[in-house]
Structure 1
Amino acid sequence: MNPQVEDIRIDFVTGSRRVSNFCWASIILSGALGFCAVGFSSYLQKDSIPFLSAEQIVFIPQGLVTFFYGIAGSFISFYLWFTIWWNIGSGYNRFDKRKGIFSLFRWGFPGKNRRILIQFSIEDIQAIRMEVQEGFLSRRVLYIRMKSQQDVPLSRLEEYSTLEEMETRAADLARFLKLSIEGV
């Protein structure tokens, strides 16, 4: 999905609408609803869930704490669902050689600063940098190294599934911008 004209390159960035976020939001919501149901059934001293007995749980303090955990889990789940709904973090990286501008656009949370647009001069780009950390929590991130500023991340931590995919993306971008690749 890289619409590319001779002098313009656009790389799209996926945001929070990922399968893993859908799974985590669903798991947390179902767990939170379960905690709320157990806390509520301990208050009523009736079994509202067939396979869980509330007779063993005293409402104060266990039932109350369980109900509180359910409410807290619901808030966390709603937060995840809203970030998925608003697609936080999605956007694009645009390289325009005609105008000499590198634009970084991302969607943020609703409000005054929902649209995040940062522009740099292409002449200020020094290199493409790859950061790779393998292991249990592997990390593969592509950066733009600026001459006088911090490195600008172009991708999320888990965007590249393989090292080969990341190297191909970095090589294409470096070839387009006529820059070198650092890292690895």
Structure 2
Amino acid sequence: MNSRSESIRVYFVTGSRRISNFCWASVLLLGSSGFFCVGLSSYFGKDIVPLLPAQQILFVPQGIVMCFYGIAGFFVSLYFWCTIYWDVGGGYDRFDKGRGIFIPFRRGFPGRNRRVLIQNLTKDIQAIRIDVQQGLSPRRVLRIKMKGHQEIPLGHVGDNFALREIEEKAAELARFLGVSVGGF
């Protein structure tokens, strides 16, 4: 979802609240629960969950390892659920021609620097750059080239737009800002 007007453009950035992260967090939670239940079943000598038989598994060493993997998987799943809840990486990119500022805003992990907001002048924007890497895991990133600064990525690193979509977005943004597009 994006917001447009004559002098302001706002592009919303998806953070950790992606379908793939929900799927991975759920799979990890279910899998780690299964491992932990099988480990406990081997300790008690009877099946805790009827669908997960553990009568053939000895507690030492297989049951201990299953419990360890279950606990480790639970903590990895908890990490995923926390990043989803906090929406780490989410935010927006705001371009305001009227005030002459460009503001990338992102949310991070809780703490003193949870909200990352940097104000830049739009007159310092030199160009819009498209970074394309093909191969096994293709990556297409839109970046802003600033005078005397590093390039600022727009959007999230995990966003995998089609080449046509990213070209259209770059061209529209370059027209709005009055700069060139480069770096195919």
Q: Within 5 A, what are the aligned runs for 1:91-170?
A: 91-170=91-170
Instruction: Report sequence identity in percent.
Output: 58
C-alpha distance in 1, partners of 2:17/2:52?
34
Residues 69-122 of structure 1 show CA distances to partners (whole Å, capped at 9, x for unaligned) of 110100110111111111111111011112221101111122222211011111
Residues 111-150 of structure 1 show CA distances to partners (whole Å, capped at 9, x for unaligned) of 2222110111112211111111122211111111112111
Task: Quote how far apart the aligned CAs of 1:56 are.
Answer: 2.2
Instruction: State TM-score, norm by structure 1.
Output: 0.94
Give 2:70's aligned residue: 70
Instruction: State TM-score, norm by structure 2.
Output: 0.94
C-alpha distance in 2, partners of 1:149/1:157?
19
Amino acid of the residue matched to residue 68 of structure 1?
Answer: F
Q: Are 1:30 and 2:30 counterparts?
A: yes
TM-align CA RMSD? 1.3
CA contact under 8 A between 2:16 and 2:89: conserved in structure 1?
Answer: yes
Unaligned runs of 5+ in 1: none
Unaligned runs of 5+ in 2: none
Amino acid of the residue matched to residue 61 of structure 2?
Answer: P
**Residue correspondences, number:** 184
